[in-house]
Structure 1
Amino acid sequence: MHERAGTPATESDLIDVEALVRAYYEQTPDASVPEQRVAFGTSGHRGSSFSTSFNEHHILAITQAIVEYRTAQGITGPLFIGSDTHALSAPAQTTALDVLVGNGVRVLVDEFDDYVPTPALSHAILSWNNDPERRAEGEADGIVITPSHNPPQDGGFKYNPPHGGPADSDATSWIAARANELIAGGLRDVKQAEPSAVETYDFRTAYVADLANIIDFDAIRSAGVKIGADPLGGASVNYWAAIRDTYGLDLTVVNERVDPAWAFMTLDWDGKIRMDPSSPSAMASVLSHEGYDILTGNDADADRHGIVTPDGGLMNPNHYLAVAIEYLFAHRPEWRADAAIGKTLVSSSMIDRVAAALDRRLWEVPVGFKWFVPGLIDGSVGFGGEESAGASFLRFDGTAWTTDKDGILLCLLASEIRAVTGKSPSALYGELVERFGDPAYERKDAAATPAQKAALGKLTGDAISATELAGQPITAKLSHAPGNDAAIGGVKVETADAWFAARPSGTENVYKIYAESFKGAEHLAQVQEEAKRVVDAALGGE
C-alpha cells in the first residue's frame, strides 16, 4: 500500500494532457518492438501515447482491420461508436471516424456529442439487431474507445460485434495480427476520408428510457431511497441526471466534474490515479459523503460499479454480487426456470453456496465477460458477474439487456434492493454470512519470468502433484472452466472450504494468485503460501 493511498492527488501526480495528446500524433510505433505492437487483452487494446503503445498509427491500423474483419463476416449494418472521458479517447475517435468513412462504413455517433458508456453502446447494438426492420438494413456492431478504470495517461480501443459484447479471441487475434501488418507496411492499405457528415444516435435517451424494463423505479421512488451517484469523472456523468429526471428519483450527482487529468481523485492503493469504484483508496472522496441510503461510483466507461452503504461502507464486489444474485433470482419470476447463475472462476465461492440454496445451476467460466454473452442473449444465464465489479443481468421478461458489463445498472439495483427489502445490501450480505459462513478472499501477485508465465498459461491440473491444500484434501484441479470447458489460462485448485487460482499477468512479470477460505484469514494465508509452492513446483521452480 502506497503511503499516500486514499489522499487527494496533487499537482505532481497529474499528467500533462497537452503533451499526452501531442505524443498521440507525433510518436510512431515500431511493429518490431513487442511493447509497441497492437495487442488485445480481455478488454481490447490498451496503452499510452507516452510509451508509444497507443498512438494515431495504432488506431488507424486497428480501425482498418476492424473494417476488413466486419466485411469478411458479412456485417453490413451501421457501426456505433462512442468514447469515454480519457484524454486520448477523443483523438482516437476522430482517427477512427476518418478510417470508417474512408471505407464507406455507415457510422453512428452520439447525437449530443456526449460521452458514451460501454453499456449504452452495447444496448444500442442489441436494440438495433433485435428490431426486424432495422436488422433488415444489416446487422450493427460497435467500437468503444476506453481503457476503463486505467490511469489518465492510458487509452483503450475495443470492438463489440453484433452480439453486443466484447469480441472473442478469434476476432481479436485476427484484428490485432492484421493491424500489426498494416503498421509494419507503413499504413499503405489504410483508407481515410475526412467525415463531412455522419449519422447520429441518441444513446442516452434510448438507454435511460429502457431502464424501466429492468429496474423497479416505482419501488425506489415510493420508498424514498436517497441516492448519491459519483461518475468519478467518467462517461456516465450526464446519464445519472437523466435517470433522476426521467424517473423522479431522490438522486444527487455528487460530483459532476470531468477532467482528463482527474485532479479531483484520491490516489489508489499504489499511489496512482485510477478510477476504480471497487477500491477504497480510489473511492475515498466518495466515502466522505453522508446522508445517503445508497452511494455509488462508476469507472470511466461505467462498466464497473461501486456500492456504498451507511452501515457497511464500500462493499467488496464479491459480497455485492452474492447479494444481487440472491435478490434477483427471488424477484424476477419471468426469468426462465432453468436460467443459470454465471460467475468467473476467480469470483467468491459464496456465490456457489447461494446458487445451491436457490437450486440454480452455477455456470463457472474463465476470466472475461465475453463468456457470458451467449447465455445472456438466449436467457439461459440470468446473471453474469466478475469479481472485479463487472456484471449484467436480464430484463424483467428474461430477455437480454446488455451483453457487456453495466455499472449503472448494478448501482441502480442496489437502490431497488434497499427499497424492496428495506435492508441495505451490506445488511443482506451479513445474513448470507450467518447462513453460509464468512469467507476471506484476497488476490496477490508472485514473481514469474516470461517463460514461467507462458508455462502457467498452458498448465494442466495433471501437472499438480499435491494432494492436500492447507490441511484439506484437494477435490479438484482445474485447467478448464466447469461451465463451458474453456481453457482458463492457468489452474484452479479446490478443497471443501478453500480454493486458489493462478493466472499469468498479461502486462507484468508476475502471476496472479486468487484465493479464498471459509475458515478465516489465517487459513487463507496458509492457502496462499501453499498455492505459491504448488504452482512453483508445477513450473519447475522448486
Structure 2
Amino acid sequence: MFGTSGIRGPVGEEVNARLALDVGRAVAAEADTVVVGRDVRGTGSVLADALSAGLRECGTDVMRLGIVSTPTLARSVQWFGADAGVGVTASHNPAPDNGIKLWNPSGQAFTPTQTDAVEERLTNDAVESAPWDEFGKERGVDDASSRHVEHLVSTFSEPDGSPDQPTGDSPNDPLEDLTVVVDLGNGTGRVTVDALYALGATVHTLDAQPDGRFPARKSEPNAETLTALQSAVPSLDADLGIAHDGDADRMVAVTADGEYVPGDVLLALFAREAAEDVNSPATGDTPRPSVAVPVDTSLVVADTVQRAGGDVAYTPVGDVHIAEAASRDGFVFGGEPSGAWIWPDQTLAPDGHLAALSLAALVQRHDSLGTLVDEIPTDSYVTRRENVSVGDRAASMDAIEAELRERYVDIDTIDGLRVETDDGWFLVRPSGTEPLVRVTAEARAERTADELLESAREIIDDNAVR
C-alpha cells in the first residue's frame, strides 16, 4: 500500500474516500493531534474530509491547513505542536492521481517501519472508535503558508542563519540584485514567490494560478516540461529560473541562458556548498562532513563532494531514505537528482522553497548560475542505461545476485545491486511496477561505461527468469 513516497494512484481505483477514512483511523491510534493539508487537486477536498473524519472518529484532534505545499505541511507538524501530519497529494504525478503522505514532527516522512505499522492496523482492523462524547475536534489554520514565508525571510536575512547566506548590499533586501522567474506549474509553490519578493528580488511568475488539472504543463518539472521557463528567463533578462512540481517539494532550475540544470549537477552544487561551509573554518580535527544521495547518483557528485572535503553515503531511492540518513550525526545535506533537497539543520523534509532561496543566495554570491554549472565537469562522465524484460522480477534478481557474488567481493544491496569498480560502477534494480530489470552503468571513460554495461547485461541475460 505504502511506497517510498506514501500512497499514490488513480482516484477511484487505488485511492478513494474509504481508503482515506481508514488511514485516518489507523494514524489516530498513535496521535492525539494531527495537521491535515492538501495540494490543488480537485479530489483533495473529499479525501481530506475523509481523513479528518477517520481521525476524529477515533478521538484525535485535527488542524486543517487547507491548500498548502507539502514542505509547509511537513514543517507545520512541529510549528503547531502536532504529533503527525497527513498530506493529501500525489506530488508530481498526473492530475487523475492523488495520494496520502504521512509526516513526523521532525519534518521527516514516516519511515517504512512506521508505515508498516499503519498498514498492519489497517489489515487487521486494529483500530477503535472513540465514545460518542470523546470524538476529536477540528479547527482551521489559515496562516501556515505565511508562517513559512516569515520563517524563510528571517532565515535568509540573518547572518549565518541559512544554508547559503546571501550577501546583498542591504541587510533588509539581501537578494535585491537578483531577477528570478518562478514557474509554479499551477501548483502550491507560492511561498517561494512571496519569500523571494520579501527578500528584495525581482520576481516574475509563470502559471501561478492554482489549478489541479495542471493545464499549463505536466506537474513534474524537467527538461521536457519546462520549455516555457527556458524561453522566459533569457527573454526577461533574469538571473535564473526556478520550477516546482505540484506540491513544491521538488525544485529544479534554469540558467540565465535558459539552460536546464541537470539534477546531478544541481545536487553536486548544493552538496559542495554544504561540505565547504563545514570545512571553511580552521577547526582542526573536524570530521569530514557527509552527504546522503541515492544509489543511482552520478559519480560527479561523489567526486565533487570529495574535492570539497566531504564524503557521500548511498541510500535507497526515495526522499524518506535520504532524510533518514541525513538525520544522523555528521550529515550536512541530502538530495536526489529528481529535485528533492534536504538540509538537516533546517528540516528533514524536502523543502522546495528552502532550496529555491538557497540557490538564489548561491547565485547572488557567485553572480552566475551558468558559471557555477560550468564548474561541474559533467563531460568527464559517461552513463549508460538499459531495461531488460523478465518474467519474474524477484526470482531474476536472486539469480543475478548469486552470480554477481561469485564475481565481485563488495556488492551494495541497499536498493538493488550496486557494484563499484576502480573506474566506475553499475546498478541492477527491478522495476517497481513493470516486469523489467533496469541496469545503469557509469564511468569516467566511454569505453569503460560500455564495458560495465555489457558485463552487467550479460549477467542479467544469463540469469533472468523469463
Q: Secondary structure at the match of 1:508?
A: coil
1:259 and 2:211 correspond: yes
Deviations 1:58-85 (A, max 9, x none): 11112212222x1xxxx44x21221111
Deviation at 1:176, TM superposition (A): 2.3
Q: Which whole-Å CA distance do the structure 2 matches of 1:216 and 1:438 have between them?
A: 31
Instruction: Name the structure 1 match of 2:193.
Output: 241
Q: Choose which of 205, 209, 214 in structure 1 pairs with 2:150.
A: 209
Change beyond 3 A, Cα 1:456–1:143: farther
* Range with greater deviation from structure 2 (187-196 or 317-326): 187-196
SS of equivalent residue, structure 2 residue 388: strand
CA contact (8 A) 1:99 1:190 kept: no
Match runs of 1:107-506 below 5 Å = 107-110=62-65, 113=66, 115-127=67-79, 140-182=83-125, 197-200=138-141, 202-211=143-152, 212=155, 213-214=161-162, 215-219=164-168, 221=174, 224-236=177-189, 238-265=190-217, 274-277=218-221, 279-289=222-232, 290=235, 291-311=237-257, 313-331=259-277, 337-377=287-327, 380-394=330-344, 400-424=345-369, 426-433=370-377, 438-441=380-383, 443-449=385-391, 451=392, 453-455=393-395, 461-464=401-404, 467=407, 476-479=410-413, 487-488=414-415, 490-506=416-432
| Unaligned ranges ≥5, structure 1 | 1-38, 129-133, 266-273, 395-399, 468-473, 480-486
| Structure 1 residue ranges, 4+ long, deviating more than 6 angstroms after superposition | 187-196
Of 13, 18, 25, the residue aligned with 1:57 is: 18
Structure 1 residues 240 and 356: alpha-carbon distance in aligned structure 2, compared to 1, 3 A threshold: closer
Give CA deviations for 1:85-141 in whole Å, capped at 9, x if unaligned: 12322221111111122222122222xx4x22121122223445xxxxx5xxxx621
SS in 2 for 1:295: strand
CA distance in structure 1 between the partners assigned to 2:20 and 2:224 by the alignment: 33
Give me the TM-score of the superposition, normalised by structure 2: 0.86
Change (3 A) 1:366 1:55: same
Q: State percent identity of aligned pairs.
A: 20
Instruction: Output the CA distance in 2 between the equivalents of 1:360 and 1:127.
Output: 32
Q: What is the deviation of 1:496?
A: 2.3
Which ranges of structure 2 fall in alignment gaps of 5 or more residues? 156-160
TM-superposed CA distance for 1:259, in Å, is 2.1
Query: 1:48 aligns to what?
Result: 10
Give the partner amino acid of 1:531: A
Decide which moves more: 295-304 or 436-445.
436-445
**Which string of whole-angstrom CA distances, capped at 9 and with x for unpartnered residues, describes residues 269-309 of structure 1?**
xxxxx3111x2112222222132211011111111111100
Q: 1:160 to 1:448 in 2, by over 3 A?
A: farther
1:84 aligns with 2:29: no
- 1:385-443 CA deviation, whole Å, 9 max, x = no partner? 1122211114xxxxx3221212222222222121111231x43232231xx86213355
- Provide, for residues 139-183 of structure 1, a one-character-per-residue CA deviation record: whole Å limited to 9, x for no partner: 62111111111011001101113332121212212322333445x
Paired residues of 1:500 and 1:528 also in contact (CA < 8 A): yes
Q: CA 1:177–1:140 in 2, change beyond 3 Å: closer, same or farther?
A: closer
Q: Aligned partner of 2:381: which letter?
A: P
The alpha carbon displacement at 1:232 in A equals 0.9
- Compared with structure 1, are the counterparts of its residues 464 and 190 closer, same or farther at alpha carbon in structure 2 (3 Å cutoff)? farther
What TM-score comes out, normalization by structure 1 length?
Answer: 0.74
Contact kept in structure 2, 1:311 and 1:427, CA below 8 Å: no
Q: Does the 8 A contact of 1:233 with 1:258 survive in 2?
A: yes
Letter in 2 for 1:246: A
What letter corresponds to residue 87 of structure 1 in structure 2? G
Root mean square deviation, CA, Å: 3.0
Structure-2 change in CA distance of 1:241 and 1:366 (3 Å):
closer
Alpha-carbon distance between aligned partners in 2 of 1:527 and 1:325, rounded to the nearest angstrom? 27
Counterpart Cα distance in 2 of 1:141 and 1:531: 43
- Contact 2:187–2:212 (8 Å) recurs in 1: no
Secondary structure at the aligned position of 2:113 is classed as: helix
Other-structure match for 1:483: none
Query: Partners in 2 of 1:116 and 1:442 — Cα distance?
Result: 39
Give 2:459's aligned residue: 534
Map residues 510-521 of structure 1 onto 2, 5 A cutoff: 510-520=436-446
Amino acid at match of 1:537: D
Shift of 1:352: 1.2
Aligned to 1:94: 49
| Count of matched residue pairs | 446
